[in-house]
């Protein structure tokens, strides 16, 4: 049995939405993602969940970059903040 769609036509001006620039989008009612939320997130690469395990590495970082993250983290773990920043970059810049 085929039921006709009960959905009404969208009132959204999709043409205007497509033409909007990122800075024009009102995000005031969307809270920032916290590092705590990031630790609970499921990360995916190519839609496939990836295991969340951490490895200790030695990494050469400019001292001003390190000082920035230490200052930004305050009483929190600056290394977790660096990890969150790298994860955010990775998610917004996929390999392909």
The share of the chain scoring above pLDDT 70, in percent, equals 93
Q: What is the pLDDT of residue 20?
A: 93
pLDDT in tens, 46-71: 788 888 788 999 999 999 999 999 99
Paired strand residues for 31: none
10-45 in b/e form (b: 16+ CB < 10 A) is eeeeeeeeeeeeeeeeeeeeeeeeeeeeeeeeeeee
Evaluate whether 43 touches 87 at the Cβ level (below 8 Å). Answer: yes
pLDDT band at 9; cut points 50, 70, 90:
confident
pLDDT of residue 2: 63
**pLDDT over 60 at 79, yes or no:** yes
Indicate the domain borders of the chain. Answer: 31-92
Q: Which residue in 63, 66, 43, 64 sits closest to 53, CA to CA? A: 43
Q: C-alpha angle with apex 72: 80 to 54, nearest 5 degrees?
A: 10
């Amino acid at each position: 049995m085929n039921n006709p769609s009960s959905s009404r036509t969208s009132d959204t001006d999709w043409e205007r939405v497509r033409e909007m620039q990122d800075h024009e989008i009102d995000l005031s009612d969307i809270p920032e993602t916290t590092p705590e939320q990031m630790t609970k997130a499921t990360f995916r690469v190519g839609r496939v969940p990836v295991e969340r395990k951490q490895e200790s590495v030695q990494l050469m970082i400019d001292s001003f970059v390190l000082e920035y993250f230490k200052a930004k983290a305050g009483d929190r773990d600056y290394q977790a903040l660096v990890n969150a920043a790298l994860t955010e970059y990775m998610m917004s810049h996929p390999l392909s």
